Amino acid sequence: MLNIALTYNTADPNDESSYSFPIERDTKEQVKFLQRFLNYLRSFSKILYVEHNNSQLISKGKDTSYFALLDFSRSEILEKLLFEKKLDLHDFEQLFSKLKLDLIHHVATIFFPKVHLSINQRSNENKYVKPNVLPNNNIITYVQKRNWLLAFILNEMYKIEETKLDLNEIRIKTFINFIKLSRIQNLKSLFDNNEVVTALQQNIAPKLINTFFEQHIIKSEVEASQHSTSSLETGKEIFEGDLKITDWKHLFDVIDSIPFNQLQKSKELLDLRDMVLNELISDCFEPDYFKYVQFISDNQLRWECILNNMTTWPGQFCIEVFESELSRFDKIDEKYEKKFVKWCEKIRIYEKVSFYFV
């Protein structure tokens, strides 16, 4: 049974530090707050007595105070009652209504993975972790009666095949269009290819991004080294899809799809993005690969990338890049300025002369 026992050390009544539950005495506002708080705990404890006495879920077979409820979230307690005690959601409607609590919100919280809704929220989780339990058809149907969009999100997140939902509801149609955006499609590989979980994220954990990139690049290089280096065999393997190589374009699409505010606030992510771009350009594999040089944000890296790779670029594009760098608002480094001017003049002459040799 749950009971209430507020105790404190009475060794020195004038010593406020001796209280186990320190408060400023004789404060009407605090007394009123405590009264309301205890009334809430007493009322919410009734959730443990729906149909049977289930107080052992939090008391572990011992008498305990109402404050033991604070060791669990409301959704955790509801989860235990629904899945361990096999109770029905309808049994809790009246109680949650009296407490002015949204039962649907608490049900949904049970099944939602960790989602970062704020761009300023610090997120260091290294991987996407699924909840302990999965919703069944009855729960999806119950949620649908009150919130079609939430039911659709839960159903799509866990692929509950036996549930039939009406996809013509306007909010559902809007959400379907949203998850089809290229940004969501590019980022979903970070979240086990789950489009719904990806769409709910507004801030991606940096460790999750770094781990994904490290695993992808290392795996590709190891597999590639295990294949034959013969040009004919390698070419055949590429066309047949046997040779695994680093897909720098895919990696760029992933990091370029990260929310703009988060990307701009993280030098680590910007450096990673520039590194991927530099490798993509050096790889010379993607169509019009040379055009990506304009997206490198770090000046030093961009200038070096231009000088190291320009011999494989179209002449006219090289001229445009040099002119763009030389006319920058922020002054270009003198060493690079001289090289760019020299190369720009050479390529102009070559472009004019090459016309006569076509």
Would you state the pLDDT for residue 114?
Answer: 66
Asked whether the predicted pLDDT for residue 345 surpasses 50, the reply is yes
Q: DSSP letter for 2, please.
A: E
Higher pLDDT pick, 213 / 26: 213
**Other Cβ atoms within 10 Å of 92 Cβ, number:** 20
Higher pLDDT pick, 3 / 82: 82
Residues with Cβ within 8 Å of residue 42, at least 6 apart in sequence: 4, 66
CA dist 282 and 312 (Å) reads 10
Would you state the pLDDT for residue 234?
Answer: 43
**Other Cβ atoms within 10 Å of 103 Cβ, number:** 21
Would you state the pLDDT for residue 11?
Answer: 40
**Res. 201 pLDDT band, cuts 50 70 90:** confident
Q: Is residue 143 within 8 Å of residue 107, measured between CB atoms?
A: yes
Identify which of 190, 151, 352, 186 has the alpha carbon closest to the alpha carbon of residue 256: 186
Would you state the pLDDT for residue 67?
Answer: 79
Per-domain residue ranges for the chain? Answer: 2-101, 247-357
CA dist 244 and 227 (Å) reads 9
Would you state the pLDDT for residue 226?
Answer: 46
CA dist 56 and 68 (Å) reads 11
Asked whether the predicted pLDDT for residue 189 surpasses 60, the reply is yes
Residues with Cβ within 8 Å of residue 114, at least 6 apart in sequence: 125, 128, 129
Q: Is residue 169 within 8 Å of residue 150, measured between CB atoms?
A: no
CA dist 55 and 46 (Å) reads 9
Identify which of 258, 330, 256 has the alpha carbon closest to the alpha carbon of residue 296: 256
**Res. 356 pLDDT band, cuts 50 70 90:** low
Q: Is residue 234 within 8 Å of residue 227, measured between CB atoms?
A: yes
Q: Which helix (H) or strand (E) holds 64?
A: strand 64-65
Q: Are strands 2-3 and 64-65 parallel, antiparallel or unpaired?
A: parallel
Residues with Cβ within 8 Å of residue 115, at least 6 apart in sequence: 197, 200, 201
**Res. 223 pLDDT band, cuts 50 70 90:** very low
Interval 51-66: pLDDT, tens: 778 777 777 666 667 7
Higher pLDDT pick, 43 / 113: 43
Interval 263-305: pLDDT, tens: 888 999 999 999 999 999 999 999 999 999 999 999 999 999 9
Interval 98-144: pLDDT, tens: 889 999 988 888 888 766 555 455 555 545 566 777 888 888 888 98
